[in-house]
Chains A and B, each alone.
Chain A
Amino acid sequence: MAATLILIELDSGKVKRASLNAITLAQQLGGDYALLLLGTDLEEVTASLTGYGASAVIAAEDAALAEPTADRYAAVIVEALKKASANTLLASSSTFSKDILPRTAALFDAPMLTDVLGIEGPAFRRPINAGSDLALVQLEGDRRVLTARATAFSAPSAVAEKSPIEKLDVTALSLPNDTEFISREERKSDRPDLGEARVVVAGGRPLKDTETFERLVGGLADVLGGAIGATRAAVDSGMVPNDYQIGQTGKIIAPELYIGLGISGAIQHLAGIKDSRVIVAINKDADAPIFQMATYGLVGDLHELVPQLIESLREV
């Protein structure tokens, strides 16, 4: 029996560390909490989680759960919630939890909040409008599903007392069979991390699509051994994933060299690059605000200039 159930995320059979931070939110909510793991070959990983003060570490082990397909996982999690008589379901925010938890919330008939940053009395604080505003939201009813923004909660500390391990038998459940997992390929990226790179090349909306973005922004970054970044407009238009967003609501960076391609310089993007040592901007609009902050500026069409720049840097 536990008030709260926490879904722990696995990556290649290992615990994703950030997913443990939801335990800290559970501790702040108060009451007992149990950890839940789904997958195959869980014995070792389950045993590694017995030191976090949980009332139980529950393992749902079945060949049908080898891949995290939302339809099957949600069905099993609802079963676990019922068995544990839990009314709260938590996980750290990730593509994994954002895929599975809303579906689980609908099956569990519970309201849900994404990206919770903290608790304020009976309400929860969470970002809206791409993080430019914070909302305080209160939930009605006794059930709730929350994902916690991992960076807003510290990693849980270990305790001496060991949690008991429980098995959740799913063989009797009739699991959905409408999703067939095909493949997973890790993105082979030799590029440095955006937050730590000495050189960052960033692109804006004029890059148009993923291919052009990769060719121009990626191409220039590769000849300079740099990382790639993007504006919110580029992220919103689906050219690049969220992780690449620089700015107030994305990553704040301070490389030695920042090159902005087709970036006009919205205040929120400039807030994320202003500590860069050298700022280079290429934009066809000479009045673009980024030129006021830039160390070097080049006015012209990036689709013509950037391939030339990549070519000449290759020759150097």
Chain B
Amino acid sequence: MRYLPKSPADRKAMLQAIGARSIGDLFAPIPAEYRLERDLKVPRQMAESEIVDWFRERARENGDSYTTFLGAGAYSHYRPVIIDSLISRGEFLTAYTPYQAEISQGTLQAIFEFQTMICELTGMEVANASMYDGSTAAAEAAMMAVRITGRRSVVMARSLHPEYREVLATYAHHQNLPLSTCPFDNTGRLNLQELEKSITSDTACVLIQSPNFLGTIEDISSVAEMAHKKGALLVVSIAEAVSLGIVEPPRQADVIAMEAQSFGVPLGFGGPYCGVIATREQFVRQMPGRLAGQTTDRNGKRGFVLTLATREQHIRREKATSNICTNQALVALMVNIFMTIYGKVGLQELAQHNLAKTAYAAGQFNKQAKLLFSGAPRFNEFVVQTSEDPYAINSRILGHKIVGGLPLRKFYPELGHAALWCCTELTTRSAIDTAVGMVAESERSVKAAKEEVDVQEVSR
């Protein structure tokens, strides 16, 4: 086996040194009746070339080289080459959690810079590094609000990512945290009258997403004011991190739960991604996840360590803020490098490109079908309602090697034949025009079919 650095002679010498007759002696503690005396039924040992071929075949079966209009919590952005060059360095790739600070300064300083940049972008005072993803970050942020306020219930927006809502429901269920859902209005924003009614003296937090699942940017100040007036916290989930380049961050929030996948992390069929929680300094001791802090060594030299570990499971056990241990460190490093590459000016220009492509696409779709929620600003996603079932339209678009917008029937049946479309800096005008053309064709044929029926009815 090519990963094992021992010759038969080494093994023999080691067994001799130990005083064992055979390797079987070392497995004697396993009761004989349970020992597996046969080969595992897994594929035979493969050569490296065979492994590469096997996965190439799977990659070909997996939508290789399609253009996508899918977003909905997983965004297709360009990944600068140096991200992979740098994270492939063995010193980052094959290191453990930086508990031994003296030989982990690289990882620790990188985390410190990550925390700083997340704070700059979100307008929060502290940020952790990291949570599993945006969905679990949102759930953990809600539980954090429960600990901070001593209240039990959570009001979540219906425009929060449906799968994030499902995850929160799973987490909240067995801790007996009542959840309620607040609807959106016809601008796609949270219905403030309904929100006012749903916040009670037991509401720990209002949990919203902005830009929300429908692409709409929420009126953060009004929501914050309403939550705070009744002593509840505001938790804002951000699923599309690139929006931070041009959309004012929710500074009035108490906790921000982010999905940072947009910052240089491959779509990778849904993971690994990178959740982050950011908050105000006063709440840091209730925040889950790892934190790097600055300190000095015995000679007064600047250095970094993992800190405030008394929040964590390896110290506090059942009283910890969370059970999280392994996080998404290497993915956070991708995010870190991405933020460094684009920086202060690039992130803004990148976001500007997303905005422009989306504005163009939304305008074009609106000429052929119905653009929903146009009364409030959006970033890079929008909802288009068609006369025909979007699954049917999409299957025709797929023939052009283009994946159309996400049909919303599963998540929001009340929206009828609606789909959520997303444009990023990678979406070309020609792809937009092709997709819009297919939607236009669909509308025309539905209309023609309808006219045909009308004509027949008149003639009858």
Report if A and B associate in a common complex: no
